[in-house]
Amino acid sequence: MAKMKAVMAAVLVMEKEGVTQAFGVPGAAINPMYAQLRERGTIAHVLARHVEGASHMAEGYTRARAGNIGVCIGTSGPAGTDMITGLYSAQADSIPILCITGQAPRARLHKEDFQAVDIASIAKPVTKWAHTVLEPAQVPRAFQQAFHLMRSGRPGPVLIDLPFDVMMAEIEFDIDTYEPLPVYKPAASRKQIERALEMLNEAEKPLIVAGGGIINADASDLLVQFAEAAGIPVIPTLMGWGAIADNHPLQAGMCGLQTAQRYGNANLLASDFVLGIGNRWANRHTGSPEVYTKGRKFIHVDIEPTQIGRVFAPDYGIVSDAKAALGLFVEVAKEWKAKGKLRDWSAWAAETQGRKCDLQYLRKTDFDNVPMKPQRVYQCMNNAFGEDVCYVSTIGLSQIAGAQFLHVYKPRHWINCGQAGPLGWTVPAALGVRVADPQRKIVALSGDYDFQFMIEELAVGAQFKLPYIHVVVNNSYLGLIRQAQRGFSMDYCVQLGFENINSPSNDVTAQGYGVDHVKVVEGLGCKAIRVHRQEEIAPAFQQAQAWMDEYQVPVVIEVILERVTNIAMGTEIDNINEFEDLATDRADVPTAVALLD
C-alpha cells in the first residue's frame, strides 16, 4: 500500500487500463489532474482549442482502432457542458470514451460557486454512467468501474466529475495488485444459432444487414467468413460500412433514405428474409417499418437486450455480442454446408450483384459542369485514392453524397458520426484518428458549414504535427437544410454567401461565396488549395501529399461547387427522388462498375 493523492490513483488506474493518450483543455479546477499527468509522463496529451473538440478527438481516437478508449479532460462548469455533445455522439453510436471534469470543492457545490454545475445530472441521459465522486477513497474504484462499464455490454461513454478537494486528498492505494474488472458480454448459444439457420434455410432470398456492432466487436473477418460460408449477400449499414469490402462479390450495397445506393435499396426490397447483426434499425436506414418489413421475416442479433423489438418486433431475437454470435454462425454454417444441410443461394447472390452494374441502378457522376457538381468530386476521389483510404465525415449533403458515391474497403475506414451528426465534428475527429494511427491515409470530408463550426481545431493539427487531407465541398449553403426546405417552399436563413470585402474582385469569395477558407486555414498554420474544375483535383491531391510529407500539417482542398445540387433521398426506401439523371453509359460510373470488372 502507498499513500498518494486521490487524483494520482486515478492516473495510475488509467495507465493499468491501457490509456496512453488524452485530449483536453486545462483549467483551474482540473489542474490537480494535469499535475499528476505531468509528473507521471506516461499519458500523452493533445491540447484542443475547444473542449467540445477534445471530446470529438477522443471519439475519433476510439473509433480508429479496436480496444482504444479515448479520454477527454476539462475543467469545471462550461468545459463539462461543452463536452455533452461529444458524449451524446459517443452514446448514440456505442463508442466508449471517458470524460473527466474538474469540480468545485465539495463544501461549495450547493453555494452556486464559480463554474460549479451539476454536470453528472446533465450528462446522465447521454452516458452509461455519470458520477461526481464525493469521497477521496472512492476515486480509484470509480475509475475501475468506468472502464468496466465502457467495455461491457453495449459500449458507451462515462463521465467522472472530480471535486478539487477530493482530488487533492491523500488516500492509501495499492496499484501493484490492481486488476481491471472482467468485461461482461452476452454470448449466443449454439441452440440459438442453429434455430436462426433453420429459419434462414426456409428463405429464398436472404440478406445479412451488418451494423456498427460488428465494427465495435472487431468481428468483420467473421462476418465475411459467415457470408462466404453461407453464400448470403450483405447490406452494411452506414455505421457498418467497411465490415465487408465494397468490391466483395457478396456486398449488396447500402440501404436507406439518404446514405444508400439504388441497387442496395433494390436488393433489400427484393429480399424475403433479413438477418440483422449489431444494428439498430435506424430510421434513416429503414424508413417506415411498414415498408421495410413488408413481405420479409427478420432475425435480430444485438448485444443490448432492449434494442430487440425497439423499432419493430423481429421473428426471432438473439442477445449476443456480434463476435460471439458470428463465431458460432461460421462454425455451424460450415458444418451444415459440409453435410449438405445448407440451402444454395448462389443464384440470389448473383442477382444482387447484377444490380451493381445495371445502369438503371447507378447514378450519374461524369458531369463536366463548372462550378462542379458534387457527384464528379466523389468520382475524382474514388479515382485518386486506393483501397487503404480512411474517410472521416459527419453530416450534411457532403456526407450523404459521399456515402452514395465513395467506396470503403476495410473496417474502421469509414469514421462517421452516425446518429447525432453534430456540425463541426469532422476536423477534431480526423485529428483523433490521426493520433490513433500515425500512418493511415486519412481523408476528411466536409461541407463548408461543418468545416466552419470547429475550424479552429486545425491549429491543433499544425501544433502537434497531425497531417491529413480535408476535402471541403463549398456551395456556400446549408445544403441539406436548404434541400429540406423545399417541402416548405422556402429558401430561408440557409445561405452562407456574402461579398467578402477583403478578397480580390476575381476571387470566388468576392463573388458571393463568402468566407475565404484558404486564408483562414493558412492563418491557423496549415496549407490549403482551392480548385474549380475536375482536372485540378488530382494535382491538388498530389500537392497535398507533398505538403503533408514536408510540413506534417493538415492540408485543406476546397472544391467550389455549384450553389444548388439536390442529392438523391426520399421518404421511403421504395420512394427515392433521384433529382439528377441516372447513368447512361459505363463512362458515367467508372469506379462503381470497376467493383465488378
Catalytic positions:
25, 51, 423, 478, 481
Integer Cα distance of 11 and 323 in angstroms:
31
Strands 44-47 and 316-319: unpaired
Q: Is the dihedral of CA 395, 386, 69, 435 positive or negative?
A: negative
Q: Do residues 90 and 157 lie in contact, with contact meaning Cβ atoms separated by under 8 Å?
A: yes
Contact 516, 452 (CB under 8 A): no
What SS3 state is found at 284?
Answer: helix
Task: Please say whether the beta carbons of 48 and 23 come within 8 A.
Answer: yes
**3-state secondary structure (DSSP) of residue 299:** strand
Q: How far apart are CA 94 and CA 92, in angstroms?
A: 6
**Extended beta strands in 28-179, E state:** 44-47, 70-74, 97-103, 129-132, 158-163, 170-173
* Cα Rg, the chain, nearest whole Å: 25
Cell 456540425, residue located: 423
Residue 577, number of CB atoms within 10 A of its CB: 13
Neighbours of 120 (CB within 10 A): 19
Helix, strand, coil share (%) of the chain residues, nearest 5: 45, 20, 40
Cis peptide before 422 (omega within 30 of 0): no
Overall residue count recorded for the chain in this entry: 597
In which residue are the cell numbers 450547493 written? 110
Helices in 161-287 by DSSP H: which ranges?
A: 164-168, 190-201, 212-216, 220-230, 262-270, 283-286
The Cβ-side half-sphere exposure at 583, using a 13 Å CA radius, reads 27
| Residue 546: CB atoms within 10 Å | 12
Please state, in angstroms and rounded to a whole number, the distance separating the CA atoms of residues 263 and 252.
7
Q: Are 470 and 557 in contact (CB under 8 A)?
A: yes
Distance CA 576, CA 361 (A): 12
Assign 362 to helix, strand or coil. Answer: coil
Which amino acid, 227?
A
Cα diameter, the chain = 76
CA 141 – CA 131 distance, rounded (Å)? 12
Q: How many Å apart are CA 49 and CA 548, to the nearest integer?
A: 21
Asked if 15 contacts 59 with a C-beta cutoff of 8 angstroms, the reply is no
Element (H, E) at 294: none
